[in-house]
Amino acid sequence: MIHRMFVGRFSLSATVLVMLAIFAGSGRVFAAPPSTAEVDEGKRLFNQNCVFCHQPDAIGKVGFAPSLSNKELLSISSDKFLLGTIRDGRQGTGMPPFGHLGKPGIVAIVAYLRSLSDVPNRSAQVDAMPAAKGNAGSGKVLFDQICSTCHGVKGDGYMAGGTGTAIGNKSFLNRVSDGFLRVTIKEGRSNTRMLSFSGPEGIANLSDQEIDDVIVYLRQQAKQ
């Protein structure tokens, strides 16, 4: 856990009160809610470095860069996951590393992204879910039939001309928990092309076991 202490006084505005709720829980990098000044600095750095791909207000662009302001993504993404992704980039995709911004700059960007959504951060509970257990062969069949349409036959995402992200990318899979993958598949992400794949209203009513089969297949592919 990375601890940062913020000095100086700032008023407990509505935004700060929201941040108190968002940054509660384990896995956070903020020892205190960020100040308005830090959120503003994060927005400035985002507009200098990230906006070209992720678009204004981090809404993303289909087939080019994902939305970073999506409430479902932010609700299940730990600060560690966001920080590491920004710092190291994602090899094999169009996401370069931004380690040159330094830890304070990257933490400020995360603070800005968090300010775009008021949903509680449930990443600790999601990451604590049990590891997936299933059949990789069955998962491959499901992936080929359902997931490859958007994410590419090898999970390469945009690089393969797909409209979905590179969920088969090794650097991505090495950073996310099975709970992260499981919740994403089950719940989808609002205002994106990633729909729910669970329940009668889902684009496909996959069972919990079928979802785990897909996760096991992705993990197996990442090792090859």
Note the pLDDT of residue 196.
94
Residue 106 has pLDDT above 80, yes or no: yes
Note the pLDDT of residue 25.
39
CATH of region 129-223, choose from 3.40.50.150, 3.40.50.620, 3.40.605.10, 1.10.760.10: 1.10.760.10
Note the pLDDT of residue 45.
98
Q: What is the pLDDT of residues 200-212, one digit of tens each?
A: 877 889 999 999 9
Sequence spans of domains, the chain: 14-121, 129-223
Residue 4 has pLDDT above 80, yes or no: no
Which tokens belong to 3? 């601890």
Note the pLDDT of residue 204.
86
Note the pLDDT of residue 136.
97
Between CA 60 and CA 67 the distance in angstroms is 4
How does DSSP assign 39-104, residue by residue? HHHHHHHHHHHTHHHH-GGG--BTTTB--SS-HHHHHH--HHHHHHHHHH-BTTTTB---GGGHHH
Note the pLDDT of residue 49.
98
Amino acid in the structure at residue 169 = N
Note the pLDDT of residue 30.
63
Which tokens belong to 25? 């829980």
CA atoms within 13 Å, Cβ hemisphere of 115: 23
Residue 1 has pLDDT above 60, yes or no: no
- pLDDT-above-90 percentage for the chain: 77
Question: What is the average pLDDT across 111-130?
Answer: 96
CATH second-level architecture of 14-121? Orthogonal Bundle (1.10)
Residue 33 has pLDDT above 60, yes or no: yes
Residue 131 has pLDDT above 70, yes or no: yes
Where b means 16+ CB within 10 Å and e means fewer, 57-91 reads ebbbeeeebbbbbbebbbbbbbbbbbbbbbbebbe
- pLDDT-above-70 percentage for the chain: 86
Domains 14-121 and 129-223 share a fold: yes
Which has more pLDDT, 214 or 17?
A: 214
Residue 9 has pLDDT above 60, yes or no: no
Residue 117 has pLDDT above 60, yes or no: yes
